[in-house]
Amino acid sequence: MDKILVTGGLGFIGSHTVVELQNEGYEVVIVDDLSNSSIDVLDGITAITDKKPLFEKLDLKDKTGVERFFAKHQDIKGVIHFAASKAVGESVNEPLLYYENNLSTLIYILKELKKLPEASFIFSSSCTVYGQADELPITENAPVKQAESPYGNTKQIGEEIIGDTCKVTPTLKAITLRYFNPIGSHESAKIGELPIGVPQNLVPFITQTAIGLREQLSVFGDDYPTHDGTCIRDYIHVVDLAKAHVVALGRLLKNKNGSNYETFNLGTGKGSTVLEVVQSFERVSGKKLNYKIVGRREGDIISAYADTNKANNVLGWKTQLSLDEAMRSAWLWEQKVKSSK
């Protein structure tokens, strides 16, 4: 079976994707620098799939290290590139760190893929490239808006770098996946999201509040023009998202792609408000969540949810899991993290 490199394969989305790849029989090599992940995740993946993926600790900013890695693994058929920094606020304070981390690594990998007789590449992008879209649901043709943060800009520039490279490299096939809001964890609760410090994202903040690590969830604004006044997002179960990577990779490996660079939105197509996510949590956990409404968070958009037509009909992938199932798995994971401390 084909050998696939997964960069950032011990991270949240990366680890769930490695599980799905191994379930489909792929041979996986994980590269991770452990800067925002734990080596224990490898045990979780192994326990779920009964197979230990190959692992190399490598900082992809080390250009010689990347060259050495590819020289050693000349049989790599595809790369799924998750490794990147992703904290929006931090990126505003440390723009050079973000541009270096997220772009130099991408360039070094693409340079190596150019040398191969044939290569498939999947890139992790974000719906953040659309900003506040003028029309909802958001299709892949919606214009890319001026980035709100250096983090968002690295995704936009990253997409352009891949597009420009594909234009002049017929041996390279690439797909960019624009994620909406990934949440939840594997149903086994053997892997999940491990935010470092205070979580900035909604769902880990909810579960950490419920378990007693945080006092209260602040709901950022209830005066938005939505049905309950709180912002709307498209929350997608990370296992559904992981499966989309396997489908996208298969599309490239089997030469089913329409062109050598394609883009797909990955979402459920359904928008949920912050309060609906809280209600879902309360429903599946049987716990009342301590929250209060506070002012708006700077930079938040009002509403974003995916048009799923292209992903459903062209990629041939659909989400299968509900918001409740995602919240149930997130809660199970939080309890597991607590019990293993």
In a 10 Å sphere around its CB, with 0-12 CB exposed, 13-18 middle and 19+ buried, how is residue 103 labelled?
Answer: middle
Segment (H or E) for 303: none
At residue 4, what are phi and psi to the nearest 5 degrees? -125, 130
Strands in 52-126 per DSSP E: 54-57, 76-81, 119-126
Q: Which residue is nearest to ligand UD1 (CB)?
A: 231
Q: Which is nearer to ligand UD1, 119 or 236 (CB)?
A: 236
Q: Considering only 10-18, 114-122, 217-225, 279-287, which stretch makes contact with ligand UD1 by CB under 6 A?
A: 217-225
Contact 304, 232 (CB under 8 A): yes
Binding of ligand UD1 at residue 156 (CB under 6 A)? no
- Distance in Å, CB of 128 to ligand UD1, minimum: 4
Q: Which of 126, 154, 226, 285 binds ligand UD1 (CB under 6 A)?
A: 126
Residues 6+ apart with CB under 8 A from 205: 198, 199, 214, 217
Size of the site for ligand UD1 (CB under 6 A): 19
Residue type, 286: G
Listed residue (264, 253, 66) closest to 175, CA to CA: 264
Q: Which is nearer to ligand UD1, 15 or 257 (CB)?
A: 15
Looking only at residues 52 through 111 of this chain, which bind ligand UD1 when binding is defined by CB under 6 A? 88
Binding of ligand UD1 at residue 227 (CB under 6 A)? no
Looking only at residues 244 through 303 of this chain, which bind ligand UD1 when binding is defined by CB under 6 A? 274, 297, 299-300
Is 98 catalytic? The answer is no
Active site residues: 151
Residues at the contact surface with ligand UD1, assessed by CB under 6 A: 88, 126, 128, 152, 181, 200-202, 205, 217-220, 231, 233, 274, 297, 299-300
